[in-house]
């Protein structure tokens, strides 16, 4: 944090206390040049009280303009849904639904054609038909991967914009959020694709090693290969947790600071220095909360449906089929809604963490306070999140 930012915050909080609930401040405390020695209009913010009656920093929107406590950091992403539900949850639902429909529209016809070709082929042709069809299916599966990359990148952009503007008291609708996110979509797609390619390469290497061992056919080679893959997977998991935490802020930097991928990687690495465990713990805890909530909602529906099918129609020849279909549809719809909520909260969490770290290390909270005061006073303002504006 700069000396100026540190002095501003230190002078405002070290020698004062929060105003007690219900306490009425002195009537003239907000007036410049009031009854307190040294009162002047150049204080930390309009309406500042003297030492002994300090008021907390303002909270014009989603986040208080001060470094966040762990509890605030943890629950702030969930408040994005409550504060602007139509734009945030609506975007998540549209993205999830579009991804599912596109994947189904591409994969279902291919699988149907594949099944028909295998069924109609003669015994002599089946091996060749299966080999060719598998290749086509694998290539077709790249389409959902590409769609997922674009959808994830777009949703990240939308949520970062919503958290950034919401923190300074702005509430944007669908159109405004989507336009601002679209302006940074290509760097976001590039970063998301880079991560996806790295994951696919690691999975491909593991699968190739196991397949090669089975082709060799030596039981000892197969056992050693599987053991090595498991050990390597554990090591990769630890490495992924470290890199994932250090680079978690890349999407937020790309959007809020309008940075390229290279600079965003360096900024994310720099901002998480000294806050690695706090960042990792927040990401893991929110992930656990979302996963447990999803299981609590979806699993009872599946269990109740299965029990009803067995109790009502033990033979499985009558109503059991209808119950199974209804249960499957309801579970799919619940999974779609929960997937939208999960993706929105996780994307918002990254933006909240970045803003908190910039407030802690760079005094961004003071810059945001000045921005809000100038905007409310009708003076021209720029983008407070751009480093060049500081």
Instruction: Note whether 269 and 287 are same-domain residues.
Output: no
- Spatial CA neighbour of 58 closest among 386, 311, 366: 366
Give tens-digit pLDDT for 9-29.
444 333 333 344 444 444 433
- Provide the pLDDT for residue 315: 67
Instruction: Note whether 292 and 306 are same-domain residues.
Output: yes
Inside any domain, residue 121: yes
282-291: average pLDDT: 92
Give tens-digit pLDDT for 372-388.
999 988 898 888 998 76
Give tens-digit pLDDT for 292-348.
988 888 888 888 877 877 777 676 666 777 777 888 888 888 888 898 899 999 999
- Provide the pLDDT for residue 286: 92
Dihedral sign of CA atoms 133, 139, 145, 147 in order: negative
Residue 146 has pLDDT above 90, yes or no: no
Answer whether 87's CB lies under 8 Å from 95's CB: no
- Provide the pLDDT for residue 27: 41
Could you list the residue range(s) of the whole structural domain that residue 379 is in?
275-390
Percent of the chain scoring above 70 in pLDDT? 78
- Provide the pLDDT for residue 51: 46
Inside any domain, residue 5: no
First to last CA, the chain: 12
- Provide the pLDDT for residue 16: 35
Instruction: Note whether 295 and 211 are same-domain residues.
Output: no
Instruction: Note whether 325 and 378 are same-domain residues.
Output: yes
49 vs 244, residue with greater confidence: 244
- Provide the pLDDT for residue 317: 65
- Provide the pLDDT for residue 131: 67
Q: What is the DSSP string of 257-304?
A: S---HHHHHHHHHHHTTT-HHHHHHHHHHHHHHHHHHHHHHHHHHHHH
Which of 153, 183, 213 terminates a domain? The answer is 183
259-277: average pLDDT: 94
48 vs 188, residue with greater confidence: 188
Instruction: Note whether 244 and 301 are same-domain residues.
Output: no
Q: What is the DSSP string of 136-193?
A: HHHHHTHHHHHHHHHHHHHHHHHHHHHHHHHHTT----HHHHHHHHHTTHHHHHHHHH
Instruction: Note whether 127 and 201 are same-domain residues.
Output: no
Question: Residue 262: is it exposed, middle or buried by C-beta count within 10 angstroms (0-12/13-18/19+)?
Answer: exposed
Which of 131, 164, 183 terminates a domain? The answer is 183
At 140, list the tokens: 């077709």
Inside any domain, residue 30: no
Instruction: Note whether 330 and 353 are same-domain residues.
Output: yes
- Provide the pLDDT for residue 74: 87
* Measured distance CA(343)–CA(340) in Å, rounded: 5
Instruction: Note whether 268 and 284 are same-domain residues.
Output: no
* Measured distance CA(79)–CA(84) in Å, rounded: 9
Inside any domain, residue 345: yes
Answer whether 101's CB lies under 8 Å from 124's CB: no
Inside any domain, residue 385: yes
Nearby residues of 30 by Cβ (< 8 Å), 6 or more positions away: 46, 47, 48, 49
Answer whether 201's CB lies under 8 Å from 114's CB: no
- 213-217, 231-235, 269-273, 287-291: least confidently modelled range: 213-217
Secondary structure class of 348 (helix, strand, coil): helix
């Amino acid at each position: 944090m700069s000396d100026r930012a540190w002095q501003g915050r230190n002078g405002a909080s070290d020698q004062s206390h929060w105003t007690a609930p219900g306490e009425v401040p002195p009537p003239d405390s907000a007036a410049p040049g009031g009854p307190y020695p040294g009162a002047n209009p150049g204080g930390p913010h309009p309406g500042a009280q003297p030492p002994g009656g300090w008021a907390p920093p303002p909270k014009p929107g989603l986040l208080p303009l001060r470094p966040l406590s762990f509890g605030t950091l943890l629950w702030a992403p969930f408040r994005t849904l409550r504060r602007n539900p139509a734009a945030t949850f609506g975007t998540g639902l549209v993205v999830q639904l579009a991804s599912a429909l596109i994947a189904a529209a591409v994969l279902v016809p291919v699988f149907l054609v594949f099944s028909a070709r295998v069924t109609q082929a003669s015994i002599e042709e089946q091996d060749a038909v299966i080999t060719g069809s598998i290749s086509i299916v694998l290539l077709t599966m790249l389409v959902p991967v590409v769609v997922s990359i674009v959808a994830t990148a777009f949703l990240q952009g939308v949520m970062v914009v919503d958290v950034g503007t919401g923190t300074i008291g702005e509430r944007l609708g669908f159109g405004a959020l989507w336009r601002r996110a679209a302006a940074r979509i290509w760097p976001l797609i590039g970063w998301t694709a880079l991560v996806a390619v790295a994951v696919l390469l690691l999975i491909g290497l593991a699968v190739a090693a196991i397949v090669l061992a089975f082709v060799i056919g030596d039981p000892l080679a197969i056992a050693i290969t599987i053991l090595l893959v498991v050990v390597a997977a554990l090591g990769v998991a630890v490495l992924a947790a470290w890199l994932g935490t250090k680079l978690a802020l890349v999407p937020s930097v790309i959007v809020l600071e309008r940075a390229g991928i290279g600079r965003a990687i360096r900024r994310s690495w720099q901002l998480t220095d000294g806050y690695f465990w706090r960042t990792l713990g927040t990401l893991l805890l929110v992930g656990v909360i979302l996963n447990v909530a999803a299981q609590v909602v979806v699993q009872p529906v599946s269990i109740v449906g299965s029990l009803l099918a067995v109790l009502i129609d033990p033979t499985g020849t009558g109503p059991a089929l209808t119950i199974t279909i209804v249960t499957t549809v309801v579970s799919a719809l619940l999974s779609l809604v929960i997937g939208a909520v999960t993706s929105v909260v996780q994307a918002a969490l990254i933006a909240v963490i970045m803003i908190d770290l910039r407030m802690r290390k760079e005094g961004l909270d003071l810059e945001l306070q000045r921005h809000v005061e100038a905007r409310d006073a009708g003076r021209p303002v720029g983008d407070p999140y751009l480093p060049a504006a500081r």
